Amino acid sequence: MIALADVHKAFGSKQVLRGLTLQVAKGESCVIIGGSGTGKSVCLKCILGLVTPDRGTITVDGRSVTEGDRDAFLSRFGMLFQGGALFDSMSVWQNVAFRLMRGAQKRPKAQAREIAVEKLRRVGLTPDVADLYPSELSGGMQKRVGLARAIAAEPEIIFFDEPTTGLDPIMAGVINDLIREIVTEMGATAVTITHDMSSVRAIADKVAMLHAGKIRWHGPVGEIDTAEDPYLRQFVTGSADGPIEAVR
């Protein structure tokens, strides 16, 4: 289980997280929604240790994320970044197999490539893509390669940072379905951050809405259309009128 308790984080004078408390159960797919700049990405980065919180505790299976062997801790995670974050200087298969060619999970090159090609196939990409470079791929293909990299080492926990941003609705649907399938198939715990309500409905078991650095509402995905919280209602309906200010 991932548990965040009273997490605060500020960048200079800008307070981003103001007492964030959230729990994600093992095997659950939690989607965090919220407006731009509400601290969704910072929340994921705090869990991974990329950003250190000013206050509060973050634990994974009861152990603080700041304790113990960092490599072993990070090897439990996979992450799909918003822009893909693929390494430009490496071919697609080398990107996917990055973790499999270094460190504790290192294996022979041929085997790593074989796994990479299999993961690429899993996300709907043909083996001939393996030897291309990221700059030769479309945005949707880059997202899928990023997804293949995130699942290459079969992590227990996968983070998806705005997986459908910048994609056309059909490609967004493909990515949403892939994420749902992979999470179910692998039995992984997933945390996704998104603005896209179609992604929320496709991916989530549980939804948490972040507003002003705190969880404003959380509950099962089936309740987002009937919940009476005015902030959630405004976000779900995409209305300019409501308690969330349009100009932030």
Q: Is 79 in the site for another protein (CB under 8 A)?
A: yes
Coil vs helix vs strand at 24: strand
**Residues 36, 193: Cα–Cα separation, whole Å:** 11
Q: How far is the CB of 3 from another protein (least distance, A)?
A: 20
Give the one residue of 77, 93, 217, 231 binding another protein; rule: CB under 8 A. Answer: 77
Site for another protein in 26-45 (CB under 8 A): 45
| Gap between the Cα atoms of 211 and 216, Å rounded | 6
Token pair for 96: 């996917």
Residue in 31, 42, 98, 208 binding another protein, rule: CB under 8 A = 98
245 alpha-carbon distance from chain centroid:
26
Q: Does 67 bind another protein (CB under 8 A)?
A: no
Contact pick of 26, 52, 64, 87 for another protein (by CB under 8 A):
87
DSSP class of 132: S
Q: Which of 3, 5, 10, 85 lies at the binding interface for another protein (CB under 8 A)?
A: 85
Pick between residue 21 and residue 105 the one whose CB is nearest to another protein.
105
Sheet of 14-24: strand order equals: 14-24, 2-11, 55-60, 63-64
User: Which of 23, 59, 75, 165 is in the footprint of another protein by CB under 8 A?
Assistant: 75
**Does residue 127 touch another protein according to CB under 8 A?**
no
- DSSP-derived 3-state class of residue 37: coil
Q: Using CB under 8 A, which of 9, 22, 30, 99 touches another protein?
A: 99
Q: In this structure, which amino acid lies at residue 3?
A: A
Question: Is the distance from CB of 39 to CB of 161 less than 8 angstroms?
Answer: no
Interface with another protein (CB under 8 A): 45, 48-50, 70-71, 74-75, 77-79, 81-83, 85-88, 98-99, 102-104, 149
